[in-house]
Amino acid sequence: MDPLAYWIGFNRVRGIGPARLRALLDAFGTIDAAWLAPEDALRHVGLDRRSVSSLLEARRGLDLPAELARIQRAGVRALTWDDPAYPQFLLTINDPPPVLYVLGELRLEDAWAVAVVGTRTASVYGREAARVLASDLARAGVTIVSGLARGIDAQAHRAALDAGGRTVAVLGSGVDIIYPWENRKLAEEIAGRGALVSEYGLGTKPEASNFPPRNRIISGLSRGVIVVEAGDQSGALITADFAAEQGREVFAVPGGIFQRGSRGTNRLIRDGAQPVLSANDVLEVLNMTAVAEHVEAQMLLPSDATEALLMEQLSDDPAHVDEVGRAVALPIATVSSTLALMELKGLVRQVGGMKYVRAREAGPLYRVD
Amino acid sequence: MDPLAYWIGFNRVRGIGPARLRALLDAFGTIDAAWLAPEDALRHVGLDRRSVSSLLEARRGLDLPAELARIQRAGVRALTWDDPAYPQFLLTINDPPPVLYVLGELRLEDAWAVAVVGTRTASVYGREAARVLASDLARAGVTIVSGLARGIDAQAHRAALDAGGRTVAVLGSGVDIIYPWENRKLAEEIAGRGALVSEYGLGTKPEASNFPPRNRIISGLSRGVIVVEAGDQSGALITADFAAEQGREVFAVPGGIFQRGSRGTNRLIRDGAQPVLSANDVLEVLNMTAVAEHVEAQMLLPSDATEALLMEQLSDDPAHVDEVGRAVALPIATVSSTLALMELKGLVRQVGGMKYVRAREAGPLYRVD
């Protein structure tokens, strides 16, 4: 069975999150071995009784092939920690989701992402600030990450799309369950020009308890988080907390001291967040004023997971297509056609006899210096 | 002649400011000796040719007794560096004005002052923020310092008065020339419940070049400067610069990023100023949350310059009223009645035979710990 099935299986087990799954992988070596481990071995490596019984129940109850098929039918990609297409910057947080369901496409350039978040009950001022900032950042080549909520979030996604930029929505439900319903059209556009992502399996309802953990992914995918407008209790403040914990820059848009919606942001600034007067403030603090150039330079990097995989296999030492294909476990036809495209881009060079070398040393994937 | 006359004389000499006057005092020992020094001695101590000729011209042209009489007629006090009633905290700046003309009364408690300044073209938001902050600070026992300009300044003075607090206006003209004219009624009230102060002699017109140096006195008198609203070019930003140079805390009120009047304040915050969401933010940063108690405790300190002078003459060693009167060069009647009042306050004690001692060791004047 495709090992992905086991990742998805674990993801359905209540009580086994990133930390326990990491421990199981360390103990059993592979996801297959972890999933198939006998009960006493699970206990032996220190998994608590409750998690063991959840896991055993899931093993018996889950139809993994059906889960895989459902994902495929939905046109969704499930990225796991060991997938080179998994957003590498998200791996730098403490508890990256073991599986990230993606509807749409995450690209390498989405590593230059900034989150734009805020209250659902946005004021006219908040909406306009979200629009201007998201729009200017998107035009500068920054991917706008947000939570598809009403108010500031929706405005940020919309502005990024209108500016011709990329945007990623992180959901608190399965990527096939759009909430709120009024944003379904927006979600469709996002899937077409960015991605809807979630750590929750398909069909997961938007339960309230899903949203706080969801916020760690919004900040985890981003270089910085801009809180545009937030009352005292806004969930955006949770995202700001995650951002600070994760070492991401926290930004806030100042506002009038008598405006409810600016209480949270003004307080963030008082407590040390960077005030944002314009998109430039964000680009400067993040050292991203040259994102547009970075993005251009990066066209010379692999542009999807297959290319990245092949790139990893290649070096200055000529490698035969068959050999590369075996190493990456992909059909030779795919390998050949991808390498041909990569040669056109100047990434690889055919040195004769179906043998390829890297055209140059590529920078590390998904990283911004 | 009263040495004050020479201070006032120097203050009328174009080209002799705080630095040159300090040098002259260092060279000649007393203000009298400096004023009366022969031309070659002036040159000898390094005074430049131009300043020497200005000084000589002033000596010939000024009618010092008439200047003194004019000040007295106007009910104005002229405080000099060596006057114990000179605001001691203002002496901590680089270039404190050698003479400070005061219409009204500066009190010891005015050492707990905060400046509230901003644009002349204030918005409804700016006015309201100035009102709320000045009012809350005044109620907490803080003296509000500002510049009597239209807009934020006037609003700050007005709010302090309405709150029953104290307020000091620093002018760019003589204290007998109120500018702008529309604030004359406000100025009258300020003189009654605080003070109008200026480094410029009586009759000095509000020339544009007077205002930037005036701003250093606003910040110099204050523990911190709050810029409430300021466009890109507002004079309030000059006051903020002086405050930073003088080691005073710079505060700014955040506002909407599309508001012209909040551009200056939001930038100040971006560049490191403390954002002010409420008066409490100011009190906390300045460690002044206990100002009300300080002020109460300070009622046990001399409450005006005469009391301060007398206090300085007294010790545990009983001193006769005549002796004290000679030392401070005040009429015996004034000394007697003041000492009687001070005894009621518990500051001094009559030990019999018209002899007084201090009731207790007083803290240093005008200082906040």
Phi, psi of A115 (to 5 degrees): -85, 140
Judge whether A61 and A26 are in contact, CB under 8 Å: no
Inter-chain residue contact B257 with A277, CB threshold 8 Å: yes
Among chain A residues, CA nearest to B261:
A256
- Which amino acid does the sequence have at B288? M
Residues near A187 by beta carbon (within 8 Å), at least 6 away in sequence: A148, A169, A178, A196
Residues of A with CB under 8 A from a CB of B: 125, 128-129, 253-259, 262-263, 266-267, 269-270, 274-278, 281
State yes or no: pLDDT of B369 exceeds 70: no
B109 in Cβ contact with B307 (< 8 Å): no
Rg (CA), chain B: 22
Nearest CA of chain A to the CA of B238: how many Å? 21
Residue A362 DSSP label: P
The helix (H) or strand (E) run that includes residue A198 is strand A194-198
The sign of the CA dihedral B19, B23, B29, B35 is negative
pLDDT in tens, A203-237: 999 999 999 999 999 999 999 999 999 998 889 99
Across the range B176-197, mean pLDDT stands at 97
Residue A239 and residue A128 in contact, taking contact as beta carbons nearer than 8 Å: no
Nearest CA in chain A to B229: A256
B122: Cβ contacts below 8 Å, ≥ 6 apart: B130, B150, B151, B152, B155, B228, B229, B261
Burial grade of A247 (CB within 10 A; 0-12, 13-18, 19 or more): exposed
**Helix count (H) and strand count (E) of chain A?**
17, 12
Short-list A311, A226, A242, CA closest to A275: A226
Nearest residue of chain B to residue A130 (CA atoms): B257
pLDDT at A369 over 90: no
| CB-based contact A256 B258, cutoff 8 Å | no
Residues of A251-281 as b/e, b for ≥16 C-beta within 10 angstroms? bbbbbbbebebbbbbbbbbbeebbbbbebeb
Q: Give the total residue count for chain A.
A: 369
What token pair was written down for A365?
Answer: 């994937």
- Chain A residues close to B269, C-beta within 8 Å: 254, 269, 275
- Cβ–Cβ gap A277/B255 under 8 Å: no
Closest by CA to B294, choosing from B156, B155, B108, is B108
Q: Which residue of B has its CA nearest to A263?
A: B277
pLDDT in tens, A10-35: 999 988 999 999 999 999 999 999 99
Contact yes or no for B275 and A262 at CB 8 A: no
Chain B residues touching residue A130 (CB < 8 angstroms): none
User: Which residues of B73-223 form beta strands (DSSP E)?
Assistant: 77-80, 99-104, 113-118, 143-146, 167-170, 194-198
Q: Tell me the pLDDT tens digit for each residue of A31-57.
A: 999 999 999 999 999 899 999 999 999
CA-nearest residue of chain B to A267?
A: B277
Q: Judge: B266–A277 Cβ closer than 8 Å, yes or no.
A: yes
B198 and B148 Cβ atoms separated by less than 8 Å: no
- What's the gap in Å between the CA of B272 and the closest CA on chain A? 10
CA nearest to A133 within chain B: B257
pLDDT of residue A119: 96
Tokens of B10: 């120097």
| Shortest CA gap B273–chain A (Å) | 10
pLDDT digits (tens, 9 = 90+) for A239-291: 999 999 999 999 999 999 999 999 999 999 999 999 999 999 999 988 877 65
User: What is the distance of C-alpha B146 from the center of its chain?
Assistant: 11
Nearest to A110 by CA among A301, A274, A277: A301
What is the C-alpha to C-alpha distance for residues B251 and B265, in angstroms, rounded to an integer?
A: 9
Q: Is residue B232 packed enough to be buried (19+ CB in 10 Å), middle (13-18) or exposed (0-12)?
A: exposed
Interface test with A, best of B257, B266, B276, B284 (most A CBs within 10 A): B257
Comparing CA positions, the residue from B225, B248, B249, B223 lying closest to residue B237 is B225
Among the partner-chain residues B128, B274, B277, the one whose CB lies closest to the CB of A267 is: B277
Q: Give the pair of three-digit tokens for residue A83.
A: 């997938």
CA dihedral of A76, A82, A88, A92, whole degrees rounded to 10: 120
Model confidence over A76-101: pLDDT tens digits? 999 999 998 999 999 999 999 999 99
Whole-number pLDDT of residue A368: 34
Could B278 and A269 be called an inter-chain contact, meaning their C-beta atoms sit closer than 8 Å?
Answer: no
Q: In the numeric block, which tokens belong to residue A116?
A: 């734009």
pLDDT digits (tens, 9 = 90+) for B227-256: 999 998 889 999 999 999 999 999 999 999
What are the residues whose beta carbons fall under 8 Å from the beta carbon of B257, sequence distance 6 or more?
Answer: A129, A253, A254, A255, A276, A277, A278, B266
Least confident piece of the model among A30-34, A291-295, B171-175: A291-295
The residues on B that touch A, with CB distances below 8 Å, are 125, 128-129, 253-258, 262-263, 266-267, 269-270, 274-278, 281
pLDDT on residue A79 = 97
pLDDT tens digits, residue range A125-138?
Answer: 999 999 999 999 99
Residues of A in contact with B263 (CB under 8 A): 277
Provide the pLDDT for residue A257.
Answer: 97
B129/chain A closest Cα distance in angstroms: 8
CA–CA distance, A243 with A155 (Å, rounded to integer): 21
User: From the CA atom positions of chain A, what is the Rg in Å?
Assistant: 22
What is the Cβ-side half-sphere exposure of residue A98, based on CA atoms within 13 angstroms? Answer: 23
